[in-house]
Amino acid sequence: MKAVILWTDAMIFLLLATAIAGTWWIRKRPHLMLPWQRVAQSSVGMVSLLVLSLFVLVGLLDSLHYRAALPEKNNGQVVYSPEVLSAFDTLASGLRSRTEKTYSAPLAACLYAKESIETADGKIMRDYPRLKYGGAHLADPQGELMGDVVRRAGVGAFAGLLIAMVFVAVAGWIKRSVSTRKVGGGYATLYPPYTRRSLLMTTLILSILIGAVANLAPVYHVLGTDKVGIDVLYLALKSIRTGLVIGTVTTLVMLPFALLLGIAAGYLRGWVDDVIQYVYTVLSSIPSVLLIAAAVLMMQVYIEMHPEWFETAAARADLRLLFLCLILGVTSWTGLCRLLRGETLKLREMEYIQAAQAFGVSSFRILTRHIVPNVMHIVLISVVMDFSSLVLAEAVLSYVGVGVDPSTMSFGTLINAARMEMGREPMVWWTLAAAFGFMLVLVLAANLFADAVRDAFDPRLNRTETV
């Protein structure tokens, strides 16, 4: 086995490291902790964070890539499979490998369309053929399917509930022993009872759901299969990483532009301001879909011309994804930049900035010590807000055909595939429904979390508590 670090993997790990370092840094500073404590007190914020972290977990597992060693050797050297797999693929290897012939409905035991089947006695009849894997253990699908599904779902749900309760009990016990060791249980004040209750409820509901699905998945296609028989649940789960990469790496690309140019324009004024303003006004008046389409198509041609650069197909698709993030980043920094410029214009007239100027503090130091900390709340809020719109932008661009590589699984490609399926008779609805459902939950959770964060950082909303 050989670990493969794709470009986007590196970006994700960089982001993860930044997030962990940031958390560690904030933990030591009580005034920075305060708003996050308010987030922790909001039940909506914590529940959406829980849901979001499940998505992130799937995305992270899906970012640990490797190439498996093949059994045969080439002159004593280990030969690796050309296929790049991820830790998530290994966990869900069952889902990945159990491909059917073509469409099958969720939890079905037969294909979705009738086919001519040759029976044992040589006769040809038209019927729904049995699936290779879905419900293959059933002798009489028509009679047993319902009961088996309910039974398996029930057992899975119960197991999930049991595991969750054990987990909650252990967590509670650890917390109690930690908080008794510390002075005065800090956790009890951190989470008010209603937040704890809603967190508990969400945990239980999620584990029941996951338990049921986990118990059904080995023998059924919970969300059906697509045109070439791939399990849609697997596709949807793989799409999560793409969505997260688009949402976060794009942010990573656009943030330096927005932050540096925004505060530089606001603080330095003069010709710097003029130049930056012209750049972003021009950039934001170009229709971004056209710009992205042009850039992506050029990139595509360039990649096609240099196949020797890429060891694997995955690396190629990944570079295209990264490039999409770059171009999305380049086109989407203008909004935040404008916001930051405005805020900096306001801040630079503040008297503490003038006091610093009176000490002869250099411009760079004023920017980093006085301005940046005071605009961070805007950056934080708009970054979280942008995340959901970027996930949606990927879907739209992939639908148009200028998004990710067709071999990359993403919500956009799922929706694009569903375009044809919706026109069939009978209609194949589950691909779209799965993409829709997953995207809705992800974006809704991100939005609700951003909302909770914004409320926690808004001094006007939090004034009454301190008065």
Partner 1 sequence: MSALLKVEGLVTRLRNGARIVDDISFGIKAGETFALLGESGCGKSMTALSLMRLLPDSIHVESGAVQLDDADILALPERAMREVRGGKMAMIFQEPGLSLNPVMTVGEQIAEALELHGGRRGATILPSPQPSPLKGEGVEQRCIELLQQVGIPDAPRRLHEYPFQLSGGMKQRVMIAMALAGQPKLLVADEPTTALDVTIQAQVLQLLRDTQQQSGMSLLLITHDLGVVAQMAHQVAVMYAGHIVERASRAQLFSHPAHPYTQKLFAALPDTARSGQPLAAIPGNVPPLHDIPKGCRFAPRCDKAWALCHEQAPEWTTLEQGQGVRCHLYSEVRREKGEGVERGRENGEGGRVDAAPRFSPSSFSLFPSLLQVENLQVHFPIRKGILQRVVGQVKAVDGVSLEIPAGRTLALVGESGCGKTTAGKALLQLIRPTAGSVRFAGNELIGLNARQLRKQRAGMQMVFQDPYASLNPKMRVAEILQEGMDALDTPSPSGGGLGVGEERQLHIDELLDQVGLAQAAKWRYPHEFSGGQRQRIAIARALAVNPKLLICDEPTSALDVSVQAQILNLLKSLQQELNLSYLFISHNLAVVEYLAHEVCVMYLGCIVERGSVQDVLHHAQHPYTRALLSAVPRIDGRGVEVVRLPGDMPSPANPPQGCHFYPRCAHAMEICRAAYPGATGINATHSVHCHLYGGEKKA
Q: Which of 49, 46, 50 is nearest to 195 (CA)?
A: 46
Between residues 31 and 123, which has the closer beta carbon with respect to partner 1?
31
Q: Is 352 in the site for partner 1 (CB under 8 A)?
A: yes
- Helix, strand, coil shares of the chain as percentages rounded to 5? 70, 10, 20
Q: How far is the CB of 407 from partner 1 (least distance, A)?
A: 47
Q: How far is the CB of 40 from partner 1 (least distance, A)?
A: 20
Between residues 98 and 370, which has the closer beta carbon with respect to partner 1?
370
Q: Is 360 in the site for partner 1 (CB under 8 A)?
A: yes
User: CB-based burial of residue 445 (10 Å sphere; 0-12 exposed, 13-18 middle, 19+ buried)?
Assistant: buried
Q: Which of 234, 214, 238, 212 is nearest to 223 (CA)?
A: 234
d(CA 394, CA 292): 11
Q: How far is the CB of 37 from partner 1 (least distance, A)?
A: 15
Long-range contacts of 344-353 (CB under 8 A, 24+ apart): 344/262, 344/263, 344/265, 344/266, 344/267, 344/371, 344/375, 345/266, 347/266, 347/371, 347/374, 347/375, 348/266, 348/267
The residue assigned the tokens 């299969």 is 225
Question: Residues 54, 214, 361, 392: which binds partner 1 (CB under 8 A)?
Answer: 361
Cα 304 to its chain centre, rounded Å, is: 28
Mark 27-66 with x for binding to partner 1 (rule: CB under 8 A) and - for no binding: ----x-----------------------------------
d(CA 39, CA 33): 10
* Alpha-carbon separation of residue 194 from 46, 89, 191, 199, 203 (angstroms): 11, 38, 8, 8, 14
Mark 408-447 with x for binding to partner 1 (rule: CB under 8 A) and - for no binding: ----------------------------------------
Q: Is 368 in the site for partner 1 (CB under 8 A)?
A: no
Question: Residues 79, 228, 350, 420: which binds partner 1 (CB under 8 A)?
Answer: 350
Q: How far is the CB of 28 from partner 1 (least distance, A)?
A: 13
d(CA 196, CA 201): 9
d(CA 428, CA 55): 26
Binding residues among 191-210 for partner 1 as defined by CB under 8 A: none
Question: Residues 172, 373, 401, 437: which binds partner 1 (CB under 8 A)?
Answer: 373
Dihedral angle at the C-alpha atoms of 53, 54, 55, 56, nearest 10 degrees?
50
Q: How far is the CB of 199 from partner 1 (least distance, A)?
A: 25
Q: How far is the CB of 269 from partner 1 (least distance, A)?
A: 13
Q: Is 126 in the site for partner 1 (CB under 8 A)?
A: no
Mark 14-33 with x for binding to partner 1 (rule: CB under 8 A) and - for no binding: -----------------x--
Question: Residues 24, 271, 359, 364: which binds partner 1 (CB under 8 A)?
Answer: 359
Q: How far is the CB of 357 from partner 1 (least distance, A)?
A: 6
> Which amino acid makes up residue 279?
V
Which span (15-23, 348-356, 384-392, 446-454) binds partner 1, by CB under 8 A?
Answer: 348-356
> Which amino acid makes up residue 16?
L
Q: How far is the CB of 185 from partner 1 (least distance, A)?
A: 23
Q: Is 351 in the site for partner 1 (CB under 8 A)?
A: yes
Question: Residues 183, 301, 305, 358: which binds partner 1 (CB under 8 A)?
Answer: 358
Which span (36-44, 126-134, 351-359, 436-444) binds partner 1, by CB under 8 A?
Answer: 351-359
List the structure tokens of 170.
Answer: 């252990």
Q: Is 326 in the site for partner 1 (CB under 8 A)?
A: no
Q: Which of 315, 314, 324, 300 is nearest to 393 (CA)?
A: 324
Q: Is 370 in the site for partner 1 (CB under 8 A)?
A: yes
Q: Is 270 in the site for partner 1 (CB under 8 A)?
A: no
Q: Is 360 left (phi over 0), alpha (psi -120 to 50) or beta?
A: left
Q: Is 356 in the site for partner 1 (CB under 8 A)?
A: yes
Dihedral angle at the C-alpha atoms of 336, 339, 340, 346, nearest 10 degrees?
180
Between residues 291 and 372, which has the closer beta carbon with respect to partner 1?
372
d(CA 383, CA 217): 36
Question: Residues 136, 162, 355, 427: which binds partner 1 (CB under 8 A)?
Answer: 355
Kindly list the residues in this chain that would bind partner 1 in the complex (CB under 8 A). Answer: 31, 350-352, 354-362, 365, 369-370, 373-374, 464-465, 467
